[in-house]
Amino acid sequence: MYEFCQVERDGRLLVVTIDRPEVRNALHPPGSAELAGVFDDFAADPDLWVAIITGAGEHAFSAGNDLKYQSAGGDRSARPATGFAGITSRYDLTKPMIAAVNGVAMGGGFEAALACDLIVASQNAMFALPEVRVGLAALAGGLHRLPRTIGSKRAMGMILTGRKVTAAEGHELGFVNEVVAEGEALMAARRWAELILEASPMSVRASKQVVTQGLEQTGVRAASERAYDAVEAMVRSEDYIEGPNAFTAKRPPRWAGH
């Protein structure tokens, strides 16, 4: 079905693997367009609650933009509105996404990981926004997401130099949630996904929307007082009743997801 990625459904979980190992999973516009379609389907599917994105092989999550394709004059008309890998400009997704970074995450690859809600990285993972070294800029959200994640001074130290950061330093800086042994990033991401799937999907989506949209406000009061569609959906949902009922009855909740 897919030319540039692999897609696996596992119950409520979707696992998407960028599959261009011959170029360290770098992406060109046709690859990003294909992934955009995959994540469009994920967003619309009520039976899928969490997604993981990773890269084929054990050496690269994604080396970013396929510069060889670009320099050769490859067709760039397929670039999707939802951005690099179909996710860096996907601002309305309330379902959680996890990046299982199994190697190099450079440029757009790092920006795709930053667009996810959690980053799990193997010890051999390496992160960078090296665009300044090739006459470009990290305009797929990296210049905005990284400072908001680790602070402006730390982010500038990476952005203005294009330097490479290990998984261990990424954890210390605060953009990596967990570092695991080489080859275990996807397994660890699945573990995080299972923890999320234990919670009400309506509550998870409401919480994600409040955080992401709230950070765009000027202060805590403005963030607290604005309306959130996912919160309204949570309050109207079956899960809003099921959670307290299950707690009172001392039984596991049976989430409906609506």
Predicted confidence (pLDDT) per residue in 56-110, tens digit: 998 999 999 998 887 777 677 788 999 999 999 999 999 999 999 999 999 999 9
Both 185 and 216 in one domain: the answer is no
Residues with a catalytic annotation lie at 111, 131
Mean pLDDT score, 173-191: 98
Residue 254 lies inside a defined structural domain of this protein: no
**125 domain-assigned:** yes
Range of the domain at 148: 5-197
Domain membership of residue 258 (yes or no) is: no
Q: What is the pLDDT of residues 108-130, one digit of tens each?
A: 999 999 999 999 999 999 999 99
**Strand-strand pairing, 165-166 and 126-128:** antiparallel
Q: Which of 182, 197, 212 is the last residue of a domain?
A: 197
**Is 64 within the bounds of a domain?**
yes
Question: In terms of domains, do 131 and 215 share one?
Answer: no
> Are 119 and 224 part of one and the same domain?
no
On whether both 232 and 155 belong to a single domain, the answer is: no
Which residues make Cβ contacts (< 8 Å) with residue 184, sequence separation at least 6? Answer: 122
**Residue 68 and residue 23 share a domain:** yes
**CA dist., res. 231 & res. 242, Å (int):** 16
d(C-alpha 57, C-alpha 41), whole Å: 25
Co-location of 245 and 161 in the same domain: no
Residues 208 and 94 placed together within one structural domain of the fold: no
Q: Note the pLDDT of residue 74.
A: 66
- Quick one: 205 and 183 in the same domain? no
